């Protein structure tokens, strides 16, 4: 999630002062209620932008990351041995104006019968407050056998993102405030990333950097060419998981995702899913110092799976929203040439 924060931080502080002084001077109860709501909304947007800027130079956030690995690690491309497509929607902090929403469409497939080469494509739309960003990346992978049962994949990701920021969506006491007139309009930033993915049929470990290039956006519309508007920073991912066969009809898969970006707190996601009769998946997750999650999935057919996750915020922000929702649909296309006829847990 890219965040526009230097400019908004200054403008929101100015508006806080304006609203506070006007509010204190008013004796009209209805006006007091209106401006208290206005002040609260500005505070929320500040939280979503200023404070989120400390940790929001991170990419889009997922609770069901174990089904969406291609978005963070290009070496995953083709590792399932079949053509695999994913459609995902996430609404974060429902009920909070300007809260993040994310849509992801991706697919990956092996390019040869041996599974040596893989191809993936990811399209992500990410929105928060006044900002909207579209990402399009193509992934290539090369896989070698490290033993009879394990494989090591090397991945390369290339593409870019388009950033739009409409400051008119930011509440301000004075329409036409010049602090809110320096929009970002379709700024394109190319990028590339790399990844490693080591796995067997029972476990996996991955290390990746999806975006190597750091980009600073400045206002180039007029006299304020040195005004800093936004920044995009490098994200580092470490992922892993293991499948335990508890019985012929029950499997347990613990997994983790660690995400780091300079200037932001380390994000650690821990999860555990139970697979019952190769059909029903039930699980729980914990995002360190941030959220608790419940997950459920159902394998409709061997090639079609649906999933849902609900996040309950554990921070003070929980008082201002009703949680986060995430749904996905995964479609696998099996073929005789692939030699794969049943879904894999990861």
CATH assignment of the domain containing 225 = 2.40.160.40
87 in any annotated domain: yes
Q: CA-based angle 39:90:54, to the nearest 5?
A: 50
pTM value is 0.80
Stretches in the chain below the pLDDT threshold 70 = 1-58, 170-182, 217-231, 335-343
What is the DSSP track for 132-194? EEEEEEEEEEEEEESSSS-EEEEEEEEEEEEEEE-GGGS--SSTT-GGG---EEEEEEEEEEE
pLDDT at residue 334, as a whole number? 80
345 in any annotated domain: no
148 in any annotated domain: yes
DSSP 318: G
- The end-to-end CA distance of the chain, in Å, is 25
315 in any annotated domain: yes
pLDDT at residue 9, as a whole number? 43
> Which 3 state secondary structure label does DSSP give 188?
strand
142 in any annotated domain: yes
pLDDT at residue 58, as a whole number? 59
pLDDT at residue 3, as a whole number? 42
* Mean pLDDT over each residue of the chain, to the nearest integer: 81
> Which 3 state secondary structure label does DSSP give 239?
strand
346 in any annotated domain: no
Number of domains in the chain: 1
1 in any annotated domain: no
Per-residue pLDDT tens for 170-218? 665 456 666 566 677 788 989 999 999 999 999 999 999 999 988 775 5
90 in any annotated domain: yes
Residue span of the structural domain in which 260 resides? 6-333
């Amino acid at each position: 999630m890219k965040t526009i924060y230097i400019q908004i931080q200054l403008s929101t502080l100015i508006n806080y002062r304006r609203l506070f002084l006007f509010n204190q001077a008013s004796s009209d109860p209805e006006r007091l209620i209106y401006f208290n709501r206005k002040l609260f909304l500005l505070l929320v947007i500040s939280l979503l932008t200023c404070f989120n800027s400390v940790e929001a130079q991170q990419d889009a956030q997922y609770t069901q990351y174990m089904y969406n690995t291609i978005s963070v690690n290009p070496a995953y491309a083709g590792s399932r041995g079949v053509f695999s497509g994913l459609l995902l929607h996430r609404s974060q902090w429902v009920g909070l104006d300007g809260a993040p929403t994310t849509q992801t469409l991706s697919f990956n497939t092996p390019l040869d019968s041996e599974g040596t080469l893989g191809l993936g494509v990811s399209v992500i739309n990410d929105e928060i407050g006044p900002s909207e960003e579209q990402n399009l990346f193509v992934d290539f992978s090369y896989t070698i056998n490290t033993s009879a049962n394990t494989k090591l994949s090397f991945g390369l990701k290339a593409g870019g993102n388009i950033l739009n920021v409409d400051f008119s969506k930011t509440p301000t006491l004075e329409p036409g405030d010049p602090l809110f007139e320096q929009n970002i309009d379709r700024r394109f930033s190319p990028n590339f990333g790399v990844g490693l993915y080591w796995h067997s049929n029972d476990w996996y470990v991955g290390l990746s950097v999806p975006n190597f290039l750091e980009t600073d956006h400045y206002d180039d519309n007029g006299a304020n060419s040195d005004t800093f508007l936004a920044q995009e920073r490098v994200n580092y991912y470490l992922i892993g998981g293991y499948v335990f066969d508890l019985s012929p009809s029950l499997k347990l898969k613990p997994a983790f995702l660690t995400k780091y970006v300079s200037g932001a707190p380390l994000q650690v996601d821990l999860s555990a899913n139970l697979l019952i009769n190769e059909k029903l998946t039930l699980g729980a997750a914990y995002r360190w110092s941030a959220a608790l999650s419940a997950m459920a999935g159902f394998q409709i057919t061997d090639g079609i799976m649906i999933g849902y996750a609900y996040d309950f915020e554990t921070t003070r922000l929980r008082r201002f929203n009703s949680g986060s929702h995430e749904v996905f649909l995964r479609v696998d296309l099996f073929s005789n040439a692939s030699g794969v006829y049943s879904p894999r847990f990861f």
